[in-house]
């Protein structure tokens, strides 16, 4: 079942790179008591993700945060080392780059996409949401190969 507006996000463990390597980060830590703009995409260093999706949130981060958002999260089904490197290369210092390396969160919210046909396995579909204290307030799911409703500009208009 796909997550929808009004649903509480499931408990999950994401990963980030800390001082000693990969570290778990509980979803409750990310969402509890916070207003979060959360966007997810199929893969780090892929064309649309790297040339449009992440850059839009990097360029608009100050404006998004000024609208009362506590955290801007970028998540992908990549390992935490890749997410860290991608964030650094993208100048995404204001974004929290989360790894859902085993697609557990992605599958739990029903937004997984099997793109094995191009050698990428199970990934996350492209989407963005506004989450308030763990509850989905706005959800924008892209059609396959589309990039329209989950852009930084579209999410800013929804805030």
The answer to whether the CB of 126 falls within 8 A of the CB of 143 is no
- Structural domains for the chain: 24-158 (3.40.30.10)
pLDDT at 121 over 70: no
- Tell me: the pLDDT tens digits for 50-75? 787 999 999 999 999 999 999 999 99
Residue 124 pLDDT: 86
- The residue among 28, 34, 35 whose CA lies nearest residue 12 is 28
* Residue among 8, 40, 44 at smallest CA distance from 111: 40
> With 80 as the cut, is the pLDDT of residue 120 above it?
no
20 contact partners, CB below 8 Å, separation of at least 6: none
> Does residue 119 register a pLDDT over 90?
no
83 contacts 76 by C-beta, under 8 angstroms: yes
User: Mind listing the pLDDT tens digit for each residue in 87-111?
Assistant: 999 999 999 999 999 999 999 999 8
Q: In the predicted model, is pLDDT for residue 47 greater than 80?
A: no
What pLDDT, in 10s, does the model give residues 105-115? Answer: 999 999 888 77
The percent of residues above 90 in pLDDT, for the chain, comes to 81
Name the average pLDDT for the chain. Answer: 93
Q: Mind telling me the catalytic residues?
A: 49
Distance between CA atoms of residues 105 and 3, nearest Å: 11
């Amino acid at each position: 079942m796909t997550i929808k507006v009004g649903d509480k996000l499931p408990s999950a463990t994401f990963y980030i790179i800390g001082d000693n390597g990969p570290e778990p980060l509980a979803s409750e830590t990310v969402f509890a008591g916070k207003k979060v703009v959360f966007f997810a995409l199929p893969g780090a260093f892929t064309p649309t993700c790297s040339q449009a999706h992440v850059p839009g949130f990097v360029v608009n981060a100050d404006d998004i945060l000024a609208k009362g958002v506590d955290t801007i999260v970028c998540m992908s089904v990549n390992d935490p080392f890749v997410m860290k490197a991608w964030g650094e290369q993208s100048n995404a210092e204001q974004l929290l780059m989360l790894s859902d390396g085993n697609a557990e969160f992605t599958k739990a919210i029903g937004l997984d996409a099997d793109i094995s046909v191009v050698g990428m396995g199970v990934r996350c579909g492209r989407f963005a949401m506004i989450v308030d204290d763990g509850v989905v307030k706005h959800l924008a799911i892209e059609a396959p190969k589309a990039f329209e409703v989950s852009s930084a500009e579209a999410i800013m208009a929804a805030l």
